[in-house]
Amino acid sequence: MGIKQYPSGESRASPLQSAVMTEPLNIGCVSYLNSKPLIEPLMNNPAVQVHFAVPAALMDLISRGEVCCALLPMVDYQASDLDLLLLPVGGIACDGPTLTVRIFSRVPPQRITHLYADTDSHTSVILAQVILREFYGVRPEVIPLAADSGNNHHSNHESVLLIGDKVVNAAPPPGEFPWQLDLGQQWKQFTGLPFVFAMWMMRADVDPGNLPHLLREAREKGTAMTDELVNRYAEQRHWPRDLAYDYFTTYLQYSITSAARNGIETFYALAQKHGLLVNRRPLRYLEHG
């Protein structure tokens, strides 16, 4: 099994040569801790080659044909020119606080004028704007957070959106930002629905073969190996063990339920309402028995 890391979305992998998937299956995934229950059982599968990249770079891999399927941010389904199918065999969702998608602010949310955004996740950046516009009545200017800002990402900024592991292991010091908004919690509070950040998607011009079964089986196995995942990754990622355990079992959901599908529709509708999505294509699921 091959593993390739593409933190910037660049790759030397050969593009798919046809519309029929061949062995090994090339799939793209984030390397964040939140993806481990979905991907870990595939890591020793010789039929799969995993290409790792940040969420915002995965679309480039699938667009170039270097992977046929990826754990894509939900915004990419609408933003891509490709004909994509949603695979409801697994995704990254929450039904309340998500812990790792958070706005840190020096002012109350209804007074935010500038939001410096970690752009690793397109979906989280759009979600932040939906919540601030729809529920707090403000339209802050969104400014990309400098990629080389490191642990000084918070210096002198009014408000900062942080995403992923860095919310736990590189967050601003306590008290520096009196107001914090967990975007999963905010979404649940105002809509009553789960929120789906990312989901397996594939090119519609590719024969799925056995891939949906492999991904569903990986999710079922991965969500049952929490202790093993905590032992393997918590210390490595500088996460407290108890927090990592709660993250896998309480904060995150990996099944795409009917309520989660309603959450996806609601998110797209609100994003379009506020001019944050240009397209609004119908949801096309590849149902797998």
Q: pTM here? A: 0.88
- Tally of domains in the chain: 1
The DSSP H or E segment spanning 267 is helix 258-273
- Any domain includes 84: yes
The pLDDT tens digits of the residues spanning 219-256 come to: 999 999 999 999 999 999 999 999 999 999 999 999 99
The pLDDT tens digits of the residues spanning 138-183 come to: 999 999 986 544 455 566 899 999 988 889 988 888 889 999 999 9
- Any domain includes 82: yes
Whether the CB-CB separation of 145 and 117 falls below 8 Å is answered with yes
- Any domain includes 160: no
- Any domain includes 145: no
- Any domain includes 177: no
Cα–Cα distances in angstroms (integers) from residue 246 to residues 38, 99, 117, 171, in the given order: 16, 10, 26, 18
What is the SS3 string spanning 197-222?
EEEEEEECCCECCCHHHHHHHHHHHH
Say how many C-beta atoms besides its own lie within 10 A of residue 243's C-beta.
14
In this structure, which amino acid lies at residue 16? Answer: L
